[in-house]
Each structure stands twice: as C-alpha cells, then as structure tokens.
Amino acid sequence: MTTQIAAPATPKAQSPAREAWSMFVRNRPALFGLVLLGAIIAATLYGTFIYDVDPFEIVWAPLERPGVTPEFPLGTDYLGRDIFAGLLIGGGPTLAVGAVAALITMLIGVGLGALAGYYGGWIDNLLMRVTEFFQVLPALLFAMVLVTLFSPSLWTIAIAIGVVSWPQTARLTRAEFLRVKELEYVLAARAIGARNGRIIWRLILPNAAPTLIVSGTLTVGVAILFEAGLSFLGLGDPNAISWGMMIGANRDYILVAWWPVTLPGVAIFLTVLAVSLVGDGLNDAFNPKLRQR
C-alpha cells in the first residue's frame, strides 16, 4: 500500500486592493498622515458638539493671549472672537472647498486628458493647445479674476480653483492613456469590436486609476492652499469663516499678536502635510515596483 504525500498548498494571491492596503499600512509616515487627517476631519465635524461657540460672536476682549482665560484656551482675535471656535468651524469650509475643487479638477483634467490620449491626432493637438493656454496663465491671478467677477462664495472659490488647476491632471491622464492603450488587452478589445466608450471607461481608466487617485489626493492639498491664499487676499466668502479668512483678517496685527495668524496657519500646514503623506503612501502602495522590496 502506497502512501500519498499531499502537495503543499499554494498560498492564495492577494487581490491588488488588499496588497495595496498592506503596503500602505506598512508605510508609517502614510499611516500617520491618515490618522492625522482623520483627526482633523473628526474635529471639524464633531468638535462643535463639545465646544459650541459661534466663531463670529465677540466673546471677550480683543487679542487675548492663549491660556490666559480658561473659557477661551487659544485666545481671541482682533475683534474678540474665539480662535478655538474659528479653528473648529473654519476647518469645514476649508476642507470642503479643497475636496470640491479637487473633484472639479479631476473631472475636467481626466475627461480632456482621456480624450486626447485615446483618440490622438487633431483631437489631441486641439485639447493640448487648450491645456497649454490654461497652463501658462498665472493660476492665482486667474482664480482671483474669476472670484472677483462673480460674488465670492464657497462654491465660486471651489469652481475657480478647479478651473485653474486641471492642466497638470490632463497631461498626466493623457500620458497614462497613451501608455495603457497600447497594451495587449486593449488591442484585443479593439479586435473583437469593443466600442471606444467601453474601452476608455471600462478598460483603460480603471488601470490608470491608481496614478490618478494619487494625483487627486495631492490636488486636495493644493486646493486648500489656494483657498487660504484667496481668503488671505480678502476674496473669501464673508459669510463663512475659514482658516484662510482668519489669517487674512488678523494679518495687520501679527507684530503685536502672533496667535490669530499662526494657529490657523498651523492648522493649514498640518492638513496639507497629512494629505501629502497620504498621497505619498498611495503612490508607494500602487507602485508595483515598490511592492517587491
């Protein structure tokens, strides 16, 4: 009687998403950025349930230093408004503008870049000329013109930032489509008569998505800085407090009171840092060469 020896079980291959997540979790700076970003978002969403103070209300003497009055731990601004309340409430509009502007940037950039990269020829030439025209315009100045032409509001600011920020995304998308459309499975889909729309949105775009996700994540940080710059120049929404507006409103008093300007600046810095760390982590996680290390 012969004894059969069972062959060793072959380990199951991880799905690309699970493998990318494992790579992301092993990246400590990226994980720190994700935790920091989550804490900032949680503070802006739920902080007012713990500390319910109107950021526009004058609650104390102007320019009260942090730590002097326990009721206002981060002090007051030049009008006597609570800075801590401004940081909690102001994070919402700042993050919202950043996210919406990044979404608009990705929609325009991915749409134009996909058409240019896939069809090529005169379509590519036309769309790239349009892209180059927008790329050479001074982005901040163009955004200022757009916000000034229309009434300054959170939606106007987000749309203006999205309209001036898409050229880089369009170029990146075009480059990815030029690369992916020559791969064998795309050529096979063409050979069996698949329609262009299906090839673009079902085959090429999902395979270009990792690079575009990283780009979109980093675009959020750029949009937050853009919003802060516009608000600093007095082009923010006067009916909504944001970190940039807090800096702009108190900039004339920075030599006598550092905290109304520095604390919102630190909040912007930490948010952009967190977004950048997450973006770098996603870049490493979606990079197949780095997974082999």
Domains by residue range for the chain, with CATH: 20-61+73-291 (1.10.3720.10)
Q: Which residues contact residue 21 at a Cβ distance below 8 angstroms, ignoring those fewer than 6 apart?
A: 285
Residue 126, token pair as written in the block? 């036309």
DSSP letter, residue 58: B
Amino acid letter, 202: R
How many whole angstroms separate alpha carbon 100 and alpha carbon 237? Answer: 15
Identity of residue 226: F
* Local confidence pLDDT in tens for the 293 residues of the chain: 455 555 454 445 566 677 777 888 888 999 999 999 999 999 998 888 888 888 899 889 999 999 888 888 999 999 999 999 999 998 888 899 999 999 999 999 999 999 999 998 899 999 999 999 998 888 888 888 888 888 888 899 999 999 999 999 999 999 999 988 888 888 888 888 888 888 888 888 888 888 888 888 888 988 988 888 888 888 888 888 889 889 988 988 988 999 999 999 999 999 999 999 998 888 888 765 555 54
Distance of alpha carbon 60 from alpha carbon 246, whole angstroms:
17
Identify the pLDDT of residue 289: 55
- Closest to 266 measured CA to CA, from 71, 40, 99: 40
Q: Evaluate whether 270 touches 40 at the Cβ level (below 8 Å).
A: yes
pLDDT number for residue 166:
92
Q: Which pLDDT score is estimated for 4?
A: 52
> pTM here?
0.85
* pLDDT value of position 1: 47
Are 165 and 222 contacting, i.e. CB atoms less than 8 angstroms apart? Answer: yes
- Provide, for the chain, the percentages of residues in helix, strand and coil under a 3-state DSSP scheme, each rounded to the nearest 5: 70, 0, 25
pLDDT for 261 equals 92
